[in-house]
Chain A
Amino acid sequence: MRLFRMLASVVLVATTNLRARWGRALVALIAVMLGVALVAGVTTGYSSARQTILDWNYSWVGQSQVHIQPLPGQTVVDALPQKLADRIGALPGVKQVVTRQKKSLTIPADQFPQGQENQVVDGYGIQVGGEEKVRPSGLRLAAGRLLAPDGGHEVLIEKALSKRLGKGVGDELVIKGFGSNEGKFRIVGVLERPRLGLISRQDLDEVVPDLVMMSQKDLEELWQGFFPMFGPGPIDLDSIDVVLTAASTPAMQEADRRIEELADSGDRDLRLAVRHSQIELAVDRLDQLDRNMRLFRLLSRLVSVVALLTASYIIFTTLGMGMVQRQAELGMLRCVGAGRVQIALSTVAEAVPIAILGTLLGIGLGLGAAKGVTVYYSQFFTRMVVSQQGLFWAGVGGVASVALAVSLPVYLATRVSPLAASRPQSKAMPFSLDLAVGLAGLGLIALSFWLRSTKLPWVQTEFQAALVYMTVGVPVLFLGYFLVAPLVVATVGRAVKYVAALLVWVRPQLVHDQIQTARWRTAATFCALMVGISMLVNLRVHSQSIMKGWELPADMPPGFIFFYPELDRSQLDEVKSLPDVENPLPMMAIWARYRPPDEKGDHSEETHILAGPILEMSKLVTLNFQEIQGGHDGKWAMEEFAKGGAIFATREFAARYNVRAGDVAQFYREHNYRDKAVGLRVVAIVEAPALNMAIDFLNVRDRFSTVASGSVVCSIVDANRVLLQTGVPETQAGPVNLTDPRLTRMLLFDFAKGRTTKDVAEDLDALNSRRLAQGHEGIHYYAGSIQDLLQMISGEFEAVVAILQKIALWAMALASLGVGFAMAANVQSRRRQLAVLRAIGMTRFQLARLVLAEAVTIALIGSLLGIIHGVHLAVNANHFDKHLFGLPTKLTLQPQTMALAIGFAVLCCLVASVLPAMRAGRTNILAALRHV
């Protein structure tokens, strides 16, 4: 009971102190709140983006446990027989089979309000009642209703198409199918099409056609007669979704095995269908999704850690400043018998409500902001998903950051001597202590280096290493810089004060006095600023390093056309002969998975494969040979490459999978073709700084769903072998013709004289009109120039960097709160000194300038350390880019970046110090001199 009463007295002191000094408490509260809000917001944003991608995936591949679709290019019609769906439906453990058909349809020009041309759309024949179950996110209604089970000639159309048509629910729509088949449909619903923000870009909209959905019966009618020999009847399937009675991983694997066994049932159709299909399990899809979300995860981890560290610095500054201000009070408490533990508890009791309230408010604010973003950008986010793990870490992080920030002030408070009651003046820390602590800080920075470059025993992959570094290495690095800060003030501060004094025109000695006697306070103040600046510098230096790392070869063809789906030989020939296309150079960029020789580790990351004629490859990327099989020269390697069955592997790929020149690398795409992986001999290890980036940006379809570990280069024929997987398609007899590129996704070319992208696009449109008139499908393309590509790349980088820069600016704004408070506390604690200066003739304006000079000094030192810190972070980011994503980088420091960082820091500090400076200027001489 007595102990309880003793604690109650401590709480009374703490709570009254909080009430009395509410301004300080408010600053700390805001710091915690914003830090936690950022964590909650970022993690919720991450979860929501993940869910959006999931929804996006599900809208195409379904939410079933097993999804089967034909491998492109394997058969004439790229379809699965209904027979396969029936047999799968009869397998044990299968609850339901939902099928989907897809065919190209045409909406006649007269259906559009202003004489547009016929538009090709993707027509889906869905199993009414089943589709909604496996693909609910693909059937999000913007208006109207879904298809009725007994309704005929009803159609659902995409919102964008609805706008273009100027038609909505209840309107009639004429749709053409094969040949002269035509049907009149009633629009019963308008669909929202879930898209991830980046995927909704205009260029992809042009590539991916709009969709319409109808019953399978209606689609069959529109495509009646395509196979005259079969007569009317069900058309082949685009996909089969299998819902199992048990959704467990073993059940999915068992179903997968049983489906593959159907190939051995003796039925030729089933054998071909199974061999030519890709069977995808939900568990693998989620696994792949998580791989693809790595960059987001890393970024969200980094942003969260930095936000909490910034909050921590500010709380430390405000509470630490409080300790300095309250030395006499604490000394008095010690005089009247308060023990060290009681003093410590009193300080902790002040922080507890800040931690709890700040965390709760922060979580609320973060979720509110995330909700706002998902509602405002509803076209990019299908829904908001609260990450429970994120909230947990936001809560723990909020409390931990307060605990971290309060630990030193608590310690300092317990060390306050009772003598402070009569002699509260704080003494400057000895330089030897600055030196010792600075050396400890350098040790921590070295430890952070070690953490980055050493693979810890329990860390399995590069990604885990990156996550560990973001969680442990980054805080260690920040702490290291924090500890170095007082030493920097003691050394560099002496020089910087002259610059600051010159800027605001005051005597340097006056500035020096304050900065040097309160080095630790100054250091704590600018550390919060340093975090923001370092983020800003890091982002800019990092993005510039990436841009610089990808240098295009000088003779790269200026134009390119991207095709989706890939072109076959005859289509390619037609495109090659377009009047405005010269020197066409077909290229492919695909992804595949590397199969390790030991067969361990079920799924390796995806590897980018760039394919093209070897002699022309140098026009796209610069290849530097590092190691060649058998010590041969580059000419030999290129000859081997041209023969086929050979690849060049990038250094990142070789390091990732421990592959040497001369080894055979096995590649496969879908796990059910794992056993039939295509072996390609690594004839050379190359350094190709632009390769990963080139592939990434050329491979538009897969770019957002593929995260690669290194790249390889091969011929188009070999790429097709990997793409087709079985090596020799069963529909074709004889060996593969190594000179016949069957599927081409990319065509580089020179523009005919005076011609532009627009002319080439017109050529392609004309070609499509001819093809459609002849009853062929149109070619889906995206034509552009390398200039467009460069703008696209830089635009995208700038967009991402701009978002991250906003976070950095948030950190800076947060930091300026701390600076403002620190300056106000400085002014308060120096009232007497300021009064003396006034008494001996200093004007109000001069006093105000003195305070501003200190703020500028803090800004200059803070930005100096922030720049070093930011460059350090950028070096780390470049390291992870290279090792994790295979992105080439070249450290690039631009003077503008440094100037921007310094300028912004000075501005922040000046703005934050205006009020304290005005307050200093208004110091009442008599009152201040009376006040002790």
Chain B
Amino acid sequence: MPHPYWRGRLISEKILHIENLVKVYGSGSTAVRALDGVNLEVHSGRFVAVMGSSGSGKSTLLHMIGGLDRPSGGHIHIRGQEITSLSDSQLTLFRRRHLGIIFQSFNLLPMLTAEQNIALPLMLDGRPKREVRARVAELMDICRLTHRADHLPDALSGGEQQRVAIARALMNEPALLLADEPTGNLDSSTAEAILAFLRRLVSDMNKTVVMVTHEPKAAALSDVLVVLRDGCIIERADLDGSGDTAKVIAHYNRDM
């Protein structure tokens, strides 16, 4: 048996392939190139951290990958599917079935219980109730939320809310999990727990995660560090996911 860390990497598959991605906001003299020819490849079972200063384009990159926004140019392939050419409804379906997205502000539906929030993607897909229940139970167990199943988001702590958001993102067994500063609204100990959880998802469950963060400590748990500046990738470094913050800071500072 390989060490859990290596599980999945042995049969690595190209999950994300970005070619010359460009995003321009506005036009004419006021045009801003948020992304300027980004190229990136991410294989399955990898934990990619995207760092950069404010306005560098890291969130824009994540939105493009998640199909939340349309690029001005270039291509994005997720598991071989080119998503920039998909129609709105096709993109919706693609998100529903192949992507999981986690936000800094959790974005849980306040009127639904934790269990209902988690079940939402499969419910929207019209999956049978039994299948949904089984999947929700499994994820609640993994995310240690079973005792909070019937609670509304307001009654949950920040960490629990983010775990519900992660469980919801995992519900459809996504090819790619996108996380936009998932620890930005959490205190340090809760943030650590969430990051460790994401790390375990990659290591133990062979999930692929692309996480935008500005915290070196968070990025230190990733396998790959991507640094953006002015919409361009200026650094791509392989890390070992060991949590060595110094290494991340070194890579980041060198290019900044």
Contact = CB atoms under 8 A, between A and B. Distances in A.
Contact of A419 (B69, B105, B111, B168): B69
A14 to B, nearest CB: 10
A417 B68 contact: yes
A815 interface: no
Interface stretch (A1-9, A49-57, A185-193, A640-648): A1-9
B68 A335 contact: yes
A252 interface: no
B93 interface: yes
A120 interface: no
B178 to A, nearest CB: 9
A20 B63 CA distance: 30
Contacts of A419: 63, 68-69
A13 to B, nearest CB: 7
B172 A329 contact: no
Contacts of B105: 328, 422, 932
Given A338-B92, A339-B93, A419-B63, A9 B109 contact: no
Interface in B80-126: 88-89, 92-93, 95-97, 101, 103-105, 107-112, 116, 120-121, 123-126
Contacts of B92: 334, 337-340
A95 interface: no
A336 B121 contact: yes
Interface in A304-336: 328-329, 331-336
Nearest to A346: B124
Given A2-B126, A419-B69, A422-B59, A336 B168 contact: yes
Contacts of A339: 89, 92-93
Interface residues of B, number: 37
Contact of A5 (B68, B69, B123): B123
A7 to B, nearest CB: 8
B129 interface: yes
A342 B89 CA distance: 11
A863 B109 CA distance: 38
Interface centre among B59, B88, B92, B125 (most CB of A within 10 A): B92
A12 interface: yes
A315 to B, nearest CB: 20
A425 interface: no
A550 B107 CA distance: 67
B160 interface: no
Interface centre among B111, B112, B168 (most CB of A within 10 A): B111
Interface string B15-42: 0000000000000000000000000000
Contacts of B69: 417, 419
Contacts of B89: 339-340
A12 B123 contact: yes
Interface centre among A328, A333, A335, A419 (most CB of B within 10 A): A335
A716 B68 CA distance: 86
B109 A338 contact: no
B66 interface: yes
Given A340-B88, A340-B92, A13 B126 contact: no
Contacts of B223: none
B68 A332 contact: no
B124 A332 contact: no
A12 B116 contact: yes
Interface string B53-80: 0000001000100111100000000000
Given A13-B112, A337-B172, A421-B107, A5 B88 contact: no
A336 B107 CA distance: 11
B216 to A, nearest CB: 22
Nearest to B169: A336
Contacts of B104: 422
Interface centre among A3, A21, A339 (most CB of B within 10 A): A339
Interface centre among A19, A20, A332 (most CB of B within 10 A): A332
Contacts of B107: 328-329, 331-332, 335, 421-422
Contact of B95 (A6, A16, A335): A335
Nearest to A338: B124
A8 B95 contact: no
B222 to A, nearest CB: 21
B68 A337 contact: no
A870 interface: no
Given A337-B96, A421-B103, A332 B109 contact: yes
Interface centre among B97, B120, B128 (most CB of A within 10 A): B120
Given A5-B128, A418-B68, A19 B111 contact: yes
A453 interface: no
A340 B116 CA distance: 20
B111 to A, nearest CB: 3
Interface in A842-882: none
A181 interface: no
B156 to A, nearest CB: 15
B245 interface: no
Contacts of A5: 123, 126-129
B185 interface: yes
B68 A336 contact: no
A180 interface: no
B111 A6 contact: no
Given A932-B105, A932-B185, A337 B66 contact: no
A337 B168 CA distance: 11
A187 to B, nearest CB: 70
A337 B63 contact: no
A482 B255 CA distance: 56
Nearest to B120: A336
B121 to A, nearest CB: 5
A17 interface: yes
Contact of A418 (B59, B66, B124, B128): B66
Nearest to A420: B68
A334 B91 CA distance: 10
Contact of B120 (A9, A417, A932): A9
Given A336-B168, A337-B96, A9 B112 contact: no
A145 B127 CA distance: 74
B97 A337 contact: yes
Interface in A909-932: 932
Nearest to A341: B89
28 contacts: A2-B126, A2-B127, A5-B127, A5-B129, A6-B123, A9-B120, A12-B112, A13-B109, A13-B111, A16-B116, A17-B109, A20-B110, A335-B68, A335-B107, A336-B101, A336-B120, A336-B124, A336-B168, A337-B125, A339-B89, A340-B92, A419-B63, A419-B69, A421-B101, A421-B107, A422-B59, A422-B63, A932-B185
Interface of B: 59, 63, 66-69, 88-89, 92-93, 95-97, 101, 103-105, 107-112, 116, 120-121, 123-129, 168, 172, 180, 185
Interface of A: 1-6, 8-10, 12-13, 16-17, 19-21, 328-329, 331-340, 342, 417-419, 421-422, 932
Given A335-B66, A421-B68, 8 more contacts: A10-B124, A16-B112, A331-B107, A333-B124, A337-B93, A419-B63, A419-B69, A422-B107
Nearest first, the 10 closest Cβ-Cβ pairs linking A and B are A337-B96, A20-B111, A9-B123, A6-B126, A2-B126, A5-B126, A332-B107, A16-B111, A418-B68, A336-B121
